[in-house]
Amino acid sequence: MTKRSGRSAIAAAGATTSARRRRAPERAAESDRRFVRALAKGLDVLRAFAPSYPMLGNKQITLRTGLPKATVSRISFTLTQLGYLGYDAAMDQYRIAPRVLSLGIGALRGLDLVRAARPLMDELARTCHVNVGLAAPDGLEMIYIEAIRGAGNLQHSLDIGSRIPMHSTSLGRAYLATLEPRERENRLAELARAAEIPVGGLRASMEEALASIEKRRYCIARWQPEIVAAAVPLRVPPGETQYVLNCGGPNYLVDETRLANDVAPRLVGIASHLEQLFFAR
């Protein structure tokens, strides 16, 4: 196998895993006669695009969604005709069109929580030189709805709309900690299947996160060896969207001790302030 084909195989495997992560929680709903599969597939195609994948061809969309190639071809053509995708004939690739972006911007503008959180997140990012994010669950991943880059943190940053794994990140574990035990166990099983890893390891990591959140309100995890992050789940009423705050960065800007003793407690303070503003009963 050549180096190029090896990289292609790795990318394809990662894309397929990503598709499984997004679609797994939706499978239970598909048996309901009210579930519109064609609409779900169209949304899967739109969700295949990300800041790191702004341009995709049908083959790449197929890999990232797990949908049949013929289905992807019809959906991408339809979305282009409706103005939700743009098509570059020279590259034979699609991109998200402004019509989709306007929907997303409209949704974010409706989130008063984001507007209130932004200056607090920005201050923490500037004073502590860390990245700060606000995220919500999206299938078996977490999606950023706000992201502030800390000073000097040029290489390790995520933008609004970026998705990260739920099973291996502080964001994901903080979210899982908000679930009822049975629901959390079911989600852990889904995550293990999607990531093709033993569920026992996930349970052990989750127990550590639960203990930390119960004691300190935050948990810490290393999604990548050189990056450490802490996350705090917001206490929201039943039925509300669950939000999670996180902060962190590469080892050369923040170590785990400073994160635990200084930065994460400040993040807890931001979470408490937002809870009082929006979710206090």
Token pair listed for 175: 């979210």
Q: In Å, how far are 13, 166, 203, 214 from 196, measured between CA atoms? A: 11, 14, 14, 29
In tens digits, what is the pLDDT along the chain, a chain of 281 residues?
343 333 333 344 444 444 544 555 555 566 677 888 898 999 999 989 887 888 999 999 999 999 999 999 999 999 999 989 999 999 999 998 888 866 666 566 547 899 999 999 999 999 999 999 999 998 899 999 999 988 765 555 678 888 899 999 999 999 999 999 999 999 999 999 999 999 999 999 999 999 999 999 999 999 888 889 999 999 998 888 899 999 998 888 888 999 999 999 999 999 999 999 988 75
Q: In Å, how far are 15, 75, 78 from 62, measured between CA atoms? A: 9, 11, 16
Please name the residues in contact with 270: beta carbons below 8 A apart, sequence gap of 6 or more. 117, 120, 121, 124, 232, 245
Instruction: Indicate the pTM of the whole model.
Output: 0.71
Q: What are the two backbone dihedrals, phi and then psi, of residue 93, each rounded to the nearest 5 degrees?
A: -140, 160
**Distance, CA of 111 to CA of 1 (rounded, Å):** 49
Assigned superfamily of 111-278: GAF domain (3.30.450.40)
225, 251 Cβ separation under 8 angstroms: no
Please name the residues in contact with 73: beta carbons below 8 A apart, sequence gap of 6 or more. 58
| pLDDT score for 279 | 85
- Kindly report the CATH class assigned to 3-97: mainly alpha
| pLDDT, tens digit (0-9, with 9 covering 90-100), for 31-76 | 677 888 898 999 999 989 887 888 999 999 999 999 999 999 999 9
Domain segments of the chain as ranges = 3-97, 111-278
Other beta carbons within 10 angstroms of residue 70's beta carbon come to 10
